[in-house]
Amino acid sequence: MSARAVYVRGVGLHPFGRFDDKDVTRLGQHAVRAGLREAEVGRGGFQAAFCGTVYTGVAAGHKVLTSLGLSGAPIVNVEAGCASGGAALSLGVSQVASGECDTVLVFGMEKMPRGIIRSSFFPPWCEKAGLTPAPAYFALRARRLLQESGVTREHLARVSVKNHGNGVDNPFAMYRKPLTIDQVLASKMVCDPLTLFMLCSPNEGAACVVLGATPGPVGPPVRVLASVVRSHLPGSALGEHTPMAGRIADDPPSPTELAAREAFHKAAVGPADLDVVEVQDTDSGREILSIEELGLCDRADGGAFVADGIGERDGRLPVNPSGGLLSKGEPLGASALGQIVELTWQLRSAADRRQVEGARTALGHTVGRGANASVTILQR
């Protein structure tokens, strides 16, 4: 498909955390105003808006844009679980690439319930039977890594230490204190092998990415080379679509593998071309699994990737320099776009102390309930 180039014209971010004095519309307003201001786009300046959100209810994006006097263009609210922001972005990118729109507003926002996420996804009897807690599913995937990928408990802890260390330098993150491997391993056991400090917190926040057919006024131009969302294929009992059963035989490619293949193909780059990545790290095992599924290391080499320090901030391929979800927390609708904001700053050399020197090509990834996975590749 011959398509127009798509640029990130501007970005805006509301910190991720807990903000009892603000409703979700207020969080969205903050991010949208910041993004549009940077993009120098105002009323009538965008031809479509996509809002990623999961828990917000009816016409959530409309409420934000109505309150700012920015309605009129089509506003579509997008729900795709943890990949909601990525799904909103992919719709916006296709609008610009196709020539349908010259400028598109994409934003995401969330105020998550506290504690273990209670989802309307499962039938009620599954909750009663104890078959729904997300950390338990995360733990099974982590244990598979322990058994099949040379991953140790220390590796799991090291991922959390890395991301919390990165988060110290991120004023938009929720947790900004460094942790030690011993502290992570000694924290409360939630679902073996995952301890409390290996799990991210659901929280609140908002992010905005303004897309355009021409570069924005700030920084070197950042292009969106690919923005892909894929769902799952049937068969995997441990798939993010959380079925009650699957095949014993070989798992089909995961949504992340499907999205990554398509994104690398569209972008005409490969894993070796990447300089910095932000990947789903709802738990520290998930970060390692994401790295494997994205092809950033060979399958079953996740333990060696961590042991060799490849994903550290001074490593060969820094992973989650923002601090990831482990440090920032996870507001579902905003998390994928939060990655795009961070990566845009990285590519503009505007990430302050988190800066990965000379970063030119970047990848963002989310995966979760649905199942949905999003992979976005940016380049300056």
To another protein, the closest distance from the beta carbon of 153 in angstroms equals 13
Q: Exposed, middle or buried by CB within 10 Å (0-12, 13-18, 19+), for 13?
A: buried
Out of 147, 171, 314, 358, name the contact with another protein by CB under 8 A: 147
- Distance, CA of 103 to CA of 9 (rounded, Å): 9
Alpha-carbon distance 294 to 224, whole Å? Answer: 18
Quick check: 303 and 292 in contact, CB under 8 A? no
**Nearest to another protein of 42, 243 (CB atom):** 243
CB–CB of 322/328 below 8 Å?
A: yes
Q: In the stretch 280-319, what mask flags binding to another protein with x, by CB under 8 A?
A: ----------------------------------------
Q: How far is the CB of 245 from another protein (least distance, A)?
A: 4
Question: What residues from 215 to 274 belong to the interface with another protein (CB under 8 A)?
Answer: 234-235, 237-238, 242-249
Q: How far is the CB of 367 from another protein (least distance, A)?
A: 18
Closest to 86 (Cα-Cα) out of 297, 262, 233: 262
| Residue 75 backbone zone (phi > 0: left; psi -120 to 50: alpha; other: beta) | beta
Residues in contact with another protein, counted by CB under 8 A, come to a total of: 38
For the CB of residue 127, give the shortest distance to another protein in the complex, in Å: 3
Which residue type occupies 297?
Answer: C
Buried b (16+ CB within 10 A) or exposed e, 334-364: bbbbbbbbbbbbbbbeebeebbbeebebbbb
Question: Nearest approach, Cβ of 184 to another protein (angstroms)?
Answer: 17
Single-letter amino acid, residue 279: V
- For another protein, the closer of residues 133 and 215 by Cβ is 133
150/42 Cα distance (integer angstroms):
52
Show contacts with another protein in window 172-211 (CB under 8 A): 189-194
For another protein, what does the binding mask look like between residues 52 and 71, x meaning CB under 8 A? --------------------
Minimum CB separation of residue 148 from another protein in Å reads: 10
Encoded amino acid at 321, one letter: P
Query: Which of 37/144 has CB closer to another protein?
Result: 144
Is 152 or 349 the residue whose CB approaches another protein more closely? 152
Of 309, 335, 306, 333, the closest CA to residue 323 belongs to 335
Considering the complex, state which of residue 116 and residue 310 has its C-beta at the smaller distance from another protein.
116
**Per-residue x/- marks for another protein, 323-352, CB under 8 A?**
------------------------------
| Residues 105-144, interacting with another protein (CB under 8 A) | 115-116, 118, 123-125, 127-133, 135-136, 139-140, 143-144
SS3 at position 354:
helix
Alpha carbons 107 and 18: distance in angstroms, whole number: 19
Reading the block at residue 51, the tokens are 């809002």
Q: Strand pairing partners for 211?
A: 8, 104
CB of 31 to another protein, least distance (A): 29
Q: Give the nearer residue to another protein in terms of CB position, either 144 or 266.
A: 144
Contact in structure between 51 and 78 (CB atoms under 8 Å) = yes
Binding site for another protein (CB under 8 A): 115-116, 118, 123-125, 127-133, 135-136, 139-140, 143-144, 147, 189-194, 234-235, 237-238, 242-249
